[in-house]
Amino acid sequence: MLSEVAKLCQTMVRIPSVNPQAKTAFQPPYGEQQMARFVCNWLNEHHLDGQIQTVAPNRPNVLAVAPGQNPAKTLLLCAHLDTVDVRDMTIEPFIGQARDGRILGRGSSDDKGPLAAMMIAFRDRVHKDNLPHNLALLATCGEEFDRTGSDFFATQLSHHTNSPLPGKLAAAIFAEPTNLKVIFAHRGVVRLLLTTQGKSAHSSRPEKGKNAIYPMARAVTAVENFAAELAHRPPHPQLGLETASVTVLHGGQQVNVVPDSCTAQVDWRILPGRDAQQCRDELNLFLKNQLHDDIAVELINQYDPVDNDLEHNIIAALLDAAEAVTGRREKAVFAGATDASAFTRWNIPKIIFGPGSLHTAHTQDEYIEIDKLDQGLTAYQKFLNGNWGIDE
């Protein structure tokens, strides 16, 4: 017999919700619409006040809020609705099959398993009496691309009129596959678009045009040198070094045409204390000093670095919950960036904590181990039934 959380994970894996920014189409498997409707209905069937928030056309978040005895503070639980793309998967992506102690399929570990555990833990805690503070559950769209949903929510939250939460946001927990390690920090991301302009001409007379690929080739090499320099800067004690890579390159239309434009994208992982705009300016200046070419450097999107006060009581409370089910108390940092980046304007604990492993997320045969998923639910329940560590 599968546990309730395993079944819920299975059902949600079967609802395709690939981040639509991977493609322009909004039909399933692209888009979070169907998943949002399912989560909202599930909450409402369990007498929790689920609401759809429209972030952008076809891009919904789901929010449920339960009032606590202390109306002045709110603990936010957050997980995401979208998944990465399903290209190149070696299993049927939306199979949601239980086999060999695992639930298989896209999103099983990132993020539908952790979301399922969070939904059930939220329900169970709200149905008990004596919620000490307000408790909210947010399921976001867009986490896997540019944090569309969490950014929208954070912007609403920062407006004093029309805030979607009662009371003051006191802490937030983000469900991601962390193997029940308590993640207290991750690097941010700055994504930059480099563009060179040229002039097209027939390739039999290249001197009549201006080839946009040559200056970009020099810029790509310069970015490689810049990345090598980052490795010589002082590392963060837990997060290590900043890294930068050219990850996308586009230039040219046809073999017999001199290309009139070329673009490259740079993904730069930044440490706490860094600002995306300053990073953009820094690379811009580096390219100007190294090259004589005209290269436009534009900030496309960013995730802020996340960092926490390690002495905060909520960290101890989460470590207690993890230890009770796994026997381990592990604080760690995360490799990727998360929705927590949208909340850096609040000086509150932003912790990433959930069942499943990043090693089996985004993979060709994504899965989550059912016993780990069950443990995740128990850990969330233990935490929510105890002291949340936000009383002070």
Rounded to a whole number of angstroms, the minimum distance from the CB of residue 224 to Zn ion is 29
The stretch among 83-91, 109-117, 230-238, 382-390 that binds Zn ion (CB under 5 A) is 109-117
Burial class (CB in 10 A: 0-12, 13-18, 19+), 250: middle
For 257-293, b where at least 16 C-beta lie within 10 A, e where not — what string?
ebbbbbbbebebbbbbebebeebbebbbebbeebeeb
Residue 340 has φ and ψ, to the nearest 5°, of -55, -30
Over the window 51 to 90, marking each residue x when it contacts Zn ion by CB under 5 A and - when it does not, the resulting string is: ----------------------------------------
The two tokens of residue 232 are 């010589």
Question: Of 32, 82, 111, 260, which one interacts with Zn ion (CB under 5 A)?
Answer: 111
Give 111 or 307: the residue with its C-beta nearer to Zn ion: 111
Give 140 or 211: the residue with its C-beta nearer to Zn ion: 140
Rounded to a whole number of angstroms, the minimum distance from the CB of residue 239 to Zn ion is 18
Binding status of residue 32 toward Zn ion by CB under 5 A: no
Give 32 or 111: the residue with its C-beta nearer to Zn ion: 111
Give 111 or 369: the residue with its C-beta nearer to Zn ion: 111
Rounded to a whole number of angstroms, the minimum distance from the CB of residue 204 to Zn ion is 51
Rounded to a whole number of angstroms, the minimum distance from the CB of residue 82 to Zn ion is 9
Question: Of 40, 86, 93, 110, which one interacts with Zn ion (CB under 5 A)?
Answer: 110
Q: How many residues bind Zn ion (CB under 5 A)?
A: 3
Give 112 or 274: the residue with its C-beta nearer to Zn ion: 112
Contacts of 245 (CB under 8 A, 6+ apart): 227, 266, 267, 268
Rounded to a whole number of angstroms, the minimum distance from the CB of residue 148 to Zn ion is 14
Give 114 or 251: the residue with its C-beta nearer to Zn ion: 114
CB atoms within 10 A of CB 22: 17
Rounded to a whole number of angstroms, the minimum distance from the CB of residue 111 to Zn ion is 4
Cis ω for the linkage preceding 111 (within 30 of 0): yes
Closest by Cα among 22, 16, 9, 21 to 36 = 16
Contact assessment for residue 120 and residue 377, using Cβ atoms and an 8 Å cutoff: yes
Give 110 or 369: the residue with its C-beta nearer to Zn ion: 110
Rounded to a whole number of angstroms, the minimum distance from the CB of residue 359 to Zn ion is 13
Rounded to a whole number of angstroms, the minimum distance from the CB of residue 150 to Zn ion is 11
Q: For residues 168-207, which are near Zn ion according to CB under 5 A?
A: 176
| Long-range CB contacts (within 8 A, 24+) of 53-56 | 53/152, 53/153, 53/156, 53/164, 55/141, 55/142, 55/148, 55/149, 55/152, 56/148, 56/152
Contacts of 315 (CB under 8 A, 6+ apart): 182, 184, 308, 331, 349, 351, 389
Give 176 or 260: the residue with its C-beta nearer to Zn ion: 176
Instruction: Please give the span between the terminal C-alpha atoms of the chain, in angstroms, as a whole number.
Output: 43
Measured distance CA(153)–CA(179) in Å, rounded: 27
Give 77 or 283: the residue with its C-beta nearer to Zn ion: 77
Over the window 230 to 269, marking each residue x when it contacts Zn ion by CB under 5 A and - when it does not, the resulting string is: ----------------------------------------
Measured distance CA(119)–CA(8) in Å, rounded: 9
Rounded to a whole number of angstroms, the minimum distance from the CB of residue 229 to Zn ion is 31
78: DSSP letter: E
Residue 280 has φ and ψ, to the nearest 5°, of -60, -45
Binding footprint of Zn ion on the chain (CB under 5 A): 110-111, 176
